[in-house]
Structure 1
């Protein structure tokens, strides 16, 4: 029995087909090869076309089929992972009304912050576990205020994964997990937040039917099945944001377990059974994929917008002729600490862990007679690792103390240098797995379709492929303290 996983990323769409019998990936594909564009009509804005995601999904599925390693008609369930917090608006004919305002867009920060003040800090944090801040609810309010002619046509408000499921099935659903990541969910009442809908005067009919993450979200239509060479009626049985899904892919489901990613953005994601929150809303709490009203499982998420996005910029600007592997080899030619060169990796929108401030990315302490390409590459790795340490210290202050962090051997964790730098910066060992978002989505589909009796069965064959322990934390602590001083200087100027 085969499972199809679809991962709608900012950079590309990844798909894979998994054999449910042994949880083995039979084939996978990614489209496009080059990173997808982000539309920035103004400074701090970030948009993508939902139709682009759908076209890329079809291309990636076709590429996977062409490998000839399975029969497409044998796929029996579909799971979807997606970039979090994006706003997708459709009319009654299910046509997209505007580009998606995606996760790293900062235009609605002031709207969300004002809502936080007006509704009240205690009410927002105790009921929604977050400030409305720079999340989907505030982005919808921005459209209502600034594009009323579009807002008046809106039939349903969705996140990116809801949109892809709609394109597959013609049905529109959402989940408690999705509503919570948009700051539309009230954890005290386990439903749509009356505080948010009343404050922004959102019609409750704008929001789709709420279903469990692991359940049927519709069946693919005949027209779509024919176009994608699939069987009509195959169910979509799982939808989750990329970070909860990454945690699922790493079998991070129990309180105290922690996952990390270092893709376009960087994330540490820990599971808790407490309705807790950071008083400054610098780290955020959402309903995890296995959240229920009776058995609360929360995902505590630290997000750094500028991780892989910084390294991509460094590659384009300083190493365009090199592959990422070659960049990492060059970086090793510079010593730990990069001879004092420091990089702040914050140039991709407002950073929640910095109280929604836009610090910008900075290359600091450049010595024209000393520093080379190798120093820039190594300092980028170190700057990203320092940002992870900064965020993890906030999580520690809120009671999250991981003894090991699980990560997929993908994106920046493909680099031995980055993985070593990460563990020395954080002081926490890392287990690496050959799992990614598309595989997590496929296994999630198997859980939702009850092909697996439990999540434990879905991950019965999951084993770490590497274990990396800290070896040089004292030296890196010196590097980190100098990095923090520079960050504080820049924060003080804002």
Structure 2
């Protein structure tokens, strides 16, 4: 029996087909090869077309099918992972009303801060576990204020994964996990937040029916199945944001377990069973994939917007002749501390862990007679690792004290230098796994469809590839200097 996982990323869409009996990946494909465009009509804005995601998903499935390694008719269930916090709007005919305002768009920061002050900090934090900030609810409020003709046509609001499920099945659903990531969910009253919808003037009819993450979110339409080579009616049995899904794919379900990723953005995601929140909303708490009213399973999320995106920008700066592998190799030739070069890696929208400030990327102490491209490659990795350490310290302030972090051996964690620098900077060992968001989505579908009797069964074949432990405290002075530069920059930005 086969499972199909679809991961709707900011850069591309990846799909994987997994054998449920062995939990092994049969085939994978990604589309496109180059990074997907982000439209930025004004500084701090970021939009993508949901139809682009759908076209890419179809292309990726077709590529996967073309491997001839399986029979698509044997696929029994579909799972979807997606970039979090994006706003997708459709009318009563399920037609798109505008491009999606995606996760790194900063236009709604002021709207969210006004809501935080008006509703009340204690009310927001105790009930929503977050400030409304720059999340989906505030993005919707921006549309209501600035694009009233579009707002009046809205039948349903969705997150990116909901749109792909709708295109597959013709049905629209949501979940408590999805509502919480949009900051629409009241954890005390276990309902859509009356405070949010009253403050912003939203109708509750805009929200799709609420279902568990692991449940039937619709069956594949016959017309779509024929196009994709699938069996009509198979269940979309799982939908989750990329970071809860990354945690799932690393078998992170229980309180105290922690996952990390360093793709386009960098995230540390720890599970808690307490309704906890950061008083400054620098880290955010959402319902985890296994949250129920009886089992309060929560994901505490630290996000750094520009990790892999900065490394990609650096690669593009030096041209197509240099590969990521070459960048990683060159970086190892430079001593720890990059001969004084320091980089603040904050150039991809407002940073929640920095109180929603637009800080930007900053290079410090460039010596034109000393620093080479290799220095930049290392300083970028050290700057990103320092940003993770800064965030981990915020999590520690809030009672999250990980003793080990699980991460997939992918993206920046493919660099041995980065992985060791991350561990030395944070002081926390890292277990690396063969991990992929699309594989996690496929396994999530197996749980949702009842093919696996429990999450434990879905991950019984998963074993770590490598354990990386701290080797030195020599990075601490580098971090402290980096932190001093950040504090100074924040004072200027303020």
- TM (norm. structure 1) is 0.99
Residues 202-221 of structure 1: pairs in structure 2 closer than 5 A: 202-221=202-221
Aligned to 2:488: 489
Instruction: Output the CA distance in 2 between the equivalents of 1:345 and 1:259.
Output: 21
| Structure 2 residue matching 1:251: 3-state secondary structure | coil
Aligned to 1:390: 390
Aligned to 1:280: 280
Residues 188-227 of structure 1: pairs in structure 2 closer than 5 A: 188-227=188-227
CA-CA distance at 1:418 after TM superposition: 1.0
Residues 86-235 of structure 1: pairs in structure 2 closer than 5 A: 86-235=86-235
Instruction: Output the CA distance in 1 between the equivalents of 2:318 and 2:285.
Output: 37
Aligned to 1:404: 404
Instruction: Output the CA distance in 2 between the equivalents of 1:74 and 1:199.
Output: 48
Unaligned segments of structure 2, at least 5 residues = none
Residues 473-484 of structure 1: pairs in structure 2 closer than 5 A: 474-484=473-483
Residues 196-345 of structure 1: pairs in structure 2 closer than 5 A: 196-345=196-345
Q: Deviations over 1:21-53 (max 9, x none)?
A: 010000000000111011000000000000000
Instruction: Output the CA distance in 1 between the equivalents of 2:364 and 2:228.
Output: 50
| Structure 1 residue matching 2:255: 3-state secondary structure | coil
Contact 1:423 1:469 in 2 (8 A): yes
Instruction: Output the CA distance in 1 between the equivalents of 2:372 and 2:274.
Output: 48
| Structure 2 residue matching 1:27: 3-state secondary structure | strand
| Structure 2 residue matching 1:149: 3-state secondary structure | helix
Instruction: Output the CA distance in 2 between the equivalents of 1:331 and 1:50.
Output: 37
| Structure 2 residue matching 1:240: 3-state secondary structure | strand
Q: Deviations over 1:185-224 (max 9, x none)?
A: 0000111000000000101000000000000000000010
CA-CA distance at 1:247 after TM superposition: 0.1
Instruction: Output the CA distance in 2 between the equivalents of 1:412 and 1:191.
Output: 38
CA-CA distance at 1:319 after TM superposition: 4.8
Instruction: Output the CA distance in 1 between the equivalents of 2:362 and 2:492.
Output: 14
Q: Deviations over 1:67-91 (max 9, x none)?
A: 1100000000000000000000000
| Structure 2 residue matching 1:63: 3-state secondary structure | helix
CA-CA distance at 1:320 after TM superposition: 3.3
Contact 1:264 1:306 in 2 (8 A): yes
Aligned to 1:455: 455
| Structure 1 residue matching 2:383: 3-state secondary structure | helix
| Structure 2 residue matching 1:237: 3-state secondary structure | strand
| Structure 1 residue matching 2:461: 3-state secondary structure | coil
Q: Deviations over 1:331-370 (max 9, x none)?
A: 1111110000000000000000000000000111100011
Instruction: Output the CA distance in 1 between the equivalents of 2:223 and 2:39.
Output: 31
Residues 17-32 of structure 1: pairs in structure 2 closer than 5 A: 17-32=17-32
Contact 1:319 1:327 in 2 (8 A): no
Instruction: Output the CA distance in 2 between the equivalents of 1:488 and 1:435.
Output: 35
Instruction: Output the CA distance in 1 between the equivalents of 2:156 and 2:414.
Output: 39
Instruction: Output the CA distance in 1 between the equivalents of 2:319 and 2:21.
Output: 43
Instruction: Output the CA distance in 2 between the equivalents of 1:199 and 1:171.
Output: 29
CA-CA distance at 1:312 after TM superposition: 0.6
Over aligned residue pairs, what C-alpha RMSD do you find? 0.5
CA-CA distance at 1:139 after TM superposition: 0.1
Instruction: Output the CA distance in 1 between the equivalents of 2:374 and 2:323.
Output: 14
CA-CA distance at 1:318 after TM superposition: 2.7
Unaligned segments of structure 1, at least 5 residues = none
| Alignment size in residue pairs | 493
Residues 336-485 of structure 1: pairs in structure 2 closer than 5 A: 336-472=336-472, 474-485=473-484
Q: Deviations over 1:306-326 (max 9, x none)?
A: 100100111111353111001
| Structure 2 residue matching 1:4: 3-state secondary structure | strand
